[in-house]
Amino acid sequence: MKARIWNHIIFKLALMVIAASSVVFGFVLLYSYTFSKEIILKDAERRARYLALSVARRIEQEFRSVQKAPLGITAFLETPDSDLKKLDNLILRTVRDHPEVFGMAVAFEENTFPGTLLHCSYYYRKDGQIVHDVQTPETEDYHREDWYHIPKILNRPCWIEPYYDDTAGGVLMTSYSVPFYFVNPDGSPGALRGIVVADVSLKWLSELVASVTTVRDSQFFIISDTGRFVTHRRPEFIMRETVFSLAENFDDAKMREFGRAMLREGSGLAVVNGSPMFPDGAILAHAQIPSPKWSLAAAFSKDALLEDIHGLHRETLVLAIVGILMMLAPSYLVARSIAKPLRKMAEAARKIKQGDLDIDLSDVKVRDEVGELAESLTDMSRGLKERDFIRDTFGRYLTKEVVSSILESKDGLKLGGEQREISVMMSDLRGFTALTSNMAPEDVIKFLNRYLGSMIEILIEYRGTIDEIIGDGILAFFGAPQDLDDHPARAVACALRMQNAMEHINALNEADGLPHLEMGVAINTGAVVVGNIGSEKRSKYGAVGAQVNFTGRMESFTTGGQVLVSQSTHDKLRDILDIKTELQVEMKGVVGKINLYQIVGIRGTHEVRLSDKCYKFKDLDKPLGVCFYGMDSKIIDEKMRQGEITQLSPTSAVVRTTDSIGQWEDLRMTLCDPVYEGFGDMYGKVVSIDKTNDYSLAMIRFTSVAPQIYKVFREALAAENNS
């Protein structure tokens, strides 16, 4: 009985501890993760919103200050009769006074600057100096440029889409263009006269955005009012990609929507849970820069935001695993403290099963339930020892009922001797000992077991206690150890039933070619000593006393088929017994004649009748010669006498002889005719004698008849019947 590892209690307990604590830790971790994630993301949303708004406001201030630069110039140009010769100086001064401005120009409509078709005066910074450049139609047709054309058509100042300026060495620039007008005589603005433009380098913008990147993997970007990137962490996107071209490139509809919101709404927030552009998810906040209508976005990668709690929970997870593993140690100890004694007890129980009741559980010292179990187990083995002793004592011959009733009663365990009135029964097969000498051993056993099996069954039925079985002889008694008030009646009824059973047994024996046998039973009632007889090693519950011996002697007077009861038994059942004959016999060691009664039936509770075996005698036409020998104590007397069977029944014969013959004499007989040589013996008891002068007629009751002879008898009887 080797248990597999998963059937060990240690394994099961460990598994359970791991499973249960994993569930608990798992739940706690999950809860903590979800909760802290939510907090961090909410906080990030707030921060993103705030950052976007505050940086946008900061940039807006710069744009506003640039917007102020052209005001002086337009005011000058819109003043009637202003001296245009002073214009260049004014532009130069304005550029010098506005360090945030890269350069400024004043460009005129066709034929509105005295003396030229087109005129544009431009001052800009170069190598720390402010240099001057004048554009004419020969150098560049500025009318087609956005910075001139768009405010002209719009009729209002506006910011121009950024561009890379070659003059400034490829720097990203944007321009603020302000149209100025002729002034009508009444002071109202007239036709467009030209455009004042202030150029701004956007280098500071990238630097500002770079400086506010405070969170890992956060990014800021600014798009112009066309969606084009003005700043971005990836320089290759600037000016070339728009937020929409990237969305198209990544096939990211959410990003396109976000871009549209950036251009259309003052500020807003988008939480992206995985999109082609932000596969790890992102929090995006945007805010407009009002003057140029550009928009700034702050994007926080969720992965970066959650990195800390991911790290924390990774560590917590490791700690939890270590904790769970550490819990294995105590659970191992507990499991072992249970499993080890249990294994010992299982071993002990196995020993008990195999019949070894000497178990030792003294080293199970725990005082818990396990200790209790060990104690119980020890008690049980002790109890079983006593039980075994009882079973050994009563043998196999008690009914289960009796055994259990004895085992259950505490007194049953105390089996000291006691004087008790019981009914003793003794039976044996007449002539069996002599007969078996000629039988094959296996036939003897078969014969005996068939007979004894049948008898024991009946005895148990009547609650007889079998004291002893010696060969074919049975010594049994009724009324001990169990008290039975009706023990004499039970004994008699049992004996009658046993006799009746013989008929069936003989039928079976005959079919097997075994001898025909007759049984005699004697019953006596009296006070005897009952108790355990023997030593520790081997003992039995038995009865001893004169009344037992008396029963034995009574039994020797029985012939086949007879049930004899003693005077004392008879006296107790006087009214219900059917008596066939009353015999008077003499016994060794007993003074005077003794009365014995042959019983054929009992009435009352245990009503039994002997089946009718009153076979009629047939006169034989040709008497069969018999040689017979006397038997004393079952030792065959060698002195041969002769006679002939004149009358025959299946159980008895009348022998006419001139030789001496005595009543109650036991005889061994053979058929004298040489024809029957080797046919075997027959045994019988002389039950009555009619003496004439010439011969005696002895009635012999057979106790056993060899099968071949029995055959001869049956043929003889059959022939007589037919005649």
Partner 1 sequence: MKQTVSVVILVIGLLSVAVAHEGPLDEVTLIPQWIPQAQFAGYMVALEKGFYREAGIDLTLLHGGPSRAPLSHLATGKATFATDWLTNGIRQRAIGQPIVELAQIIQKSALILVARKDGGILKPQDFDGKKVGLWEGHFYLQPMLFFRKFGVNVQVIPNYTSVGLFLKGALDAISVMYYNEYHTLIQNGLNHDELSTFVLSDYGLNFPEDAIFTLESTYKNNPDLCKRFVDASIRGWVYAFNHQNEALNIVMKHVDDANTPSNRSHQKWMLAKMKELIEGDSSGSKIGRLNREEYMRVAEAMLEYRMISEIPPFDQFYRGMQ
Nearer to partner 1, 13 or 195 (CB): 195
Which residue's CB is nearer to partner 1, number 164 or number 204?
Answer: 164
Structure tokens at 661: 């013959």
Minimum distance from residue 16 beta carbon to partner 1 (Å): 59
Counting contacts by CB under 8 A, is residue 259 touching partner 1? yes
Among 21, 74, 94, 175, binds partner 1 (CB under 8 A): 175
Select 245 or 454, whichever has its Cβ closest to partner 1: 245
- Per CB under 8 A, does 110 bind partner 1? no
Q: Is 125 near partner 1 (CB under 8 A)?
A: no
Contact between 100 and partner 1 per CB under 8 A? no
Rg of the Cα atoms in the chain: 67
Window 421 to 440, contacts with partner 1 (CB under 8 A): none
Identity of the residue, 159 or 683, whose beta carbon is nearer to partner 1 in the bound complex: 159
Q: Which helix (H) or strand (E) holds 27?
A: helix 9-68
How does DSSP classify residue 271? E
DSSP letters spanning 159-221: E---EEETTTTSEEEEEEEEEEEEE-TTS-EEEEEEEEEEEEESHHHHHHHHHT--STTEEEE
| Cβ atoms of 74 and 162 closer than 8 Å | no
Give the residue, chosen from 263, 305, 374, 712, that forms a contact with partner 1 under the rule CB under 8 A.
263
Residue 249 interacts with partner 1 (CB under 8 A): yes or no: yes
Q: Which of 699, 696, 615 is nearest to 657 (CA)?
A: 696
Q: Closest CB to partner 1 among 105 and 631?
A: 105
- Closest of 97, 139, 149, 96 to residue 118, by C-alpha: 139
Residue in 45, 88, 100, 161 binding partner 1, rule: CB under 8 A: 161
Q: Does 253 bind partner 1 (CB under 8 A)?
A: no
Of 51, 66, 73, 239, which lies in the binding site for partner 1, with binding defined by CB under 8 A? 239
Q: Which stretch binds partner 1 (CB under 8 A): 91-99, 146-154, 319-327, 433-441?
A: 146-154
CB of 158 to partner 1, least distance (A): 7
CA gap 285, 266 in Å, rounded = 11
Q: Which is nearer to partner 1, 137 or 680 (CB)?
A: 137
- Give the separation between CA 454 and CA 604, rounded to whole angstroms: 24
Which of 157, 196, 219, 241 is the binder for partner 1 (CB under 8 A)? 241
Please tell me what DSSP assigns to residue 617: P
Does 227 interact with partner 1 (rule: CB under 8 A)? Answer: yes
Q: Is there binding between residue 277 and partner 1 (CB under 8 A)?
A: no
Q: Which stretch binds partner 1 (CB under 8 A): 158-166, 345-353, 512-520, 624-632?
A: 158-166
Per CB under 8 A, the segment of 140-148, 347-355, 371-379, 396-404 that binds partner 1 is 140-148
| Among positions 62, 78, 248, 421, the unique one binding partner 1 when judged by CB under 8 A | 248
Tell me the CA distances in angstroms from 422 to 141, 203, 570, one per residue in order: 151, 131, 14
Go through 67-83 and write b for each residue having 16 or more CB atoms within 10 A of its CB, e for each that does not. bebbebbbebbbeeeee
Beta carbon of residue 161, minimum distance to partner 1 (angstroms, whole number): 6
Among the listed residues 223, 230, 228, the one whose alpha carbon sits nearest the alpha carbon of residue 206:
230
Four-residue CA torsion sign, 706, 450, 466, 521: negative
Nearest CA to 73 among 34, 42, 103?
103
Q: Which of 36, 65, 116, 167 binds partner 1 (CB under 8 A)?
A: 167
Q: Residue 150 CB, nearest distance to partner 1 (Å)?
A: 5
The CA distance from 458 to 495, in Å, is 9
Q: Quickly list DSSP for 61-93.
A: HHHHHHHHTTHHHHHHHTSTT--GGGHHHHHHH
Among the listed residues 529, 520, 525, the one whose alpha carbon sits nearest the alpha carbon of residue 490: 525
Q: According to the binding rule CB under 8 A, does residue 95 interact with partner 1?
A: no
169 binds partner 1 (CB under 8 A): no
Q: Which of 27, 164, 204, 615 is close enough to bind partner 1 by CB under 8 A?
A: 164
C-beta of 195: minimal distance to partner 1 in Å? 11
Work out which of 147, 176, 180, 397 binds partner 1, going by CB under 8 A.
147
Q: Is 33 in the site for partner 1 (CB under 8 A)?
A: no
Does 166 participate in binding partner 1 (rule CB under 8 A)?
yes
Q: How far is CA 33 from its chain centroid?
A: 35
Binding residue (CB under 8 A) for partner 1 from 173, 178, 496, 519 = 173
**Interaction between residue 225 and partner 1 (CB under 8 A):** yes
- Exposed e or buried b per residue across 446-460, where buried means at least 16 C-beta atoms within 10 angstroms of its C-beta: ebbebbbebbbebbb
Structure tokens that stand for 47 in this block? 């921060």
Binding to partner 1 (CB under 8 A) within 53-92 occurs at: none
Q: Of 93, 260, 391, 553, which one interacts with partner 1 (CB under 8 A)?
A: 260
* Residue 244 found at the interface with partner 1 (CB under 8 A): yes
Applying CB under 8 A, the span of 222-230, 333-341, 454-462, 657-665 interacting with partner 1 comes to: 222-230
> Could you tell me how many residues make up the chain?
723
* 230 forms part of the interface with partner 1 (CB under 8 A): no
Select from 226-234, 274-282, 426-434, 688-696 the region that touches partner 1 (CB under 8 A).
226-234
Distance, in Å, from the CA atom of 214 to the CA atom of 56, rounded to the nearest integer, reads: 16
Decide if residue 595 touches partner 1 (CB under 8 A): no
Q: Return the residue of 10, 55, 160, 480 that touches partner 1, per CB under 8 A.
A: 160
CB of 187 to partner 1, least distance (A): 27
Among residue numbers 187 through 216, which ones bind partner 1 (CB under 8 A)? 197, 199
Distances 437 to 262, 399, 491, 678 between C-alpha atoms, Å: 126, 33, 31, 14
- 546 contacts 529 by C-beta, under 8 angstroms: no
User: Among 691, 494, 507, which residue's Cα sits nearest to residue 606?
Assistant: 494
Place of tokens 């060899």: 706
Q: Which amino acid is at 554?
A: M
Written as six digits, the tokens of 368 are 């818990």
CA 408 to chain centre: 37
Provide the b/e sequence for 486-512 (b: ≥16 CB within 10 Å): bbbbbbbbbbbbbbbbbeebbeebeee
Q: Does residue 108 belong to the site contacting partner 1 (CB under 8 A)?
A: no
DSSP 669: E
Specify the stretch interacting with partner 1 by CB under 8 A; choose among 136-144, 377-385, 515-523, 690-698: 136-144
Q: Which of 11, 25, 163, 679 binds partner 1 (CB under 8 A)?
A: 163
Reference 290, options 325, 265, 319; nearest CA is: 265
| The one segment of 66-74, 244-252, 330-338, 347-355 that binds partner 1 by CB under 8 A | 244-252
Query: Contact with partner 1 (CB under 8 A): which of 65, 245, 482, 549?
Result: 245
Q: Is 618 in the site for partner 1 (CB under 8 A)?
A: no
Task: Check residue 165 for interaction with partner 1 (CB under 8 A).
Answer: yes
Least separation in angstroms between residue 147's CB and partner 1 is: 6
How far is C-alpha 186 from the geometric centre of its chain's CA atoms? Answer: 106
Contact residues: partner 1, CB under 8 A: 103, 105, 122, 140-142, 144-147, 149-150, 153-154, 158, 160-161, 163-167, 170, 173, 175, 197, 199, 225-228, 239-245, 248-249, 256, 259-260, 263
